[in-house]
Amino acid sequence: MGSDSKTVCVTGASGFIGSWARHEAPRTWLYFRATVRDPKGVKHLLDLPKANSHLTLWKADLSEEGSFDAAINGCFGVFHVATPMDFESKDPEMYFVSKTLAEQAAWKFAKENNLDFISIIPTLVIGPYLMPSMPPSLITGLSPITAEGRYICSSHAATIVELANMLREKYPEYNIPTKFKDADENLGNVNFSSKKLQDLGFQFKYSLEDMFVGAVETCRAKGLIPAPINPSGPASTDQVVNGCTPISIETTVNGKS
């Protein structure tokens, strides 16, 4: 079956980034085949503009070999944003390892089958979780004129200590801890270059504070953060995590706009 130059497949279309990839359809010439594990839980996709004309839903599961074949067959491109995730897992590295292995496998498959492949790598997606548009870095990276390759998207570098200090100053009512095991003020940053993405014309828009404050304020507005914790002594990391305070990060983090 020949490919349709106007049809693409989006895996994991019910997720945050997948949903916004589909949301951009009315602004482009694209028609979307959206794969989801549960077609009954995607009302937000069906309510998007032009869903009747630009969207078809396909049931698929990464744990089932071949379940994506029908949805992908005939498309000229695939936005692969789905990844297997066990929310009951205690392994903090599970999600990152899953994404890394998926990218490695995709590069191998693309080279073996002579396919054009573009990988967009946001170091962290943070900010208000209800947004008016898809993250612009993805729009830039998914443009038909974008050259093949890997595109890192990292606007800022910050350690857990720096983030904790910033949030504690901004939200003193939560008494956010600033002391962490094996991490002190001398902890160095890990910097990633986004030059390749910026050379395409992409520009970062938000400050580190904008992104984290936006996330916190969204949670507050939706009632996801409880009343401030006022312990008699300094808060511990466990108190903050169990109390659902705004942010808990266990490693060096690089922010993304």
What are the chain's domains? 4-153 (3.40.50.720)
Strands 31-36 and 75-80: unpaired
CA dihedral angle for residue 42, residue 8, residue 133, residue 85, rounded to 10 degrees: 50
Closest CA to 133 of 48, 216, 195: 48
> What tokens does 172 get?
């003193």
- In terms of residues, how long is the chain? 257
Stretch among 60-74, 105-119, 219-233 having the lowest mean pLDDT: 219-233
Q: What is the pLDDT of residues 16-62, one digit of tens each?
A: 665 556 555 555 557 888 888 877 777 767 776 677 777 788 888 88
pLDDT, mean of residues 232-246: 37
Name the pTM for this structure. 0.66
Cα distances from 27 to residues 134, 168, 251, in angstroms, run 12, 40, 38
Decide if pLDDT at 107 tops 90. yes
Residue with tokens 């069906």: 46
Q: What is the pLDDT of residues 136-188, one digit of tens each?
A: 545 555 555 466 788 888 888 888 899 999 999 999 988 889 988 877 778 88
> What tokens does 257 get?
């706009």
Which residues have a catalytic role annotated? Answer: 99
Alpha carbon distance, N-terminus to C-terminus of the chain: 39
What pLDDT does residue 146 have? 60
Mean pLDDT comparison of 60-74, 130-144, 186-200, highest-scoring range: 60-74
73 residue type, one letter: N
Q: In what order do the strands lie in the sheet with 31-36?
A: 55-59, 31-36, 4-11, 75-80
Q: Are 62 and 84 in contact (CB under 8 A)?
A: yes
Closest CA to 53 of 24, 32, 84, 28: 32
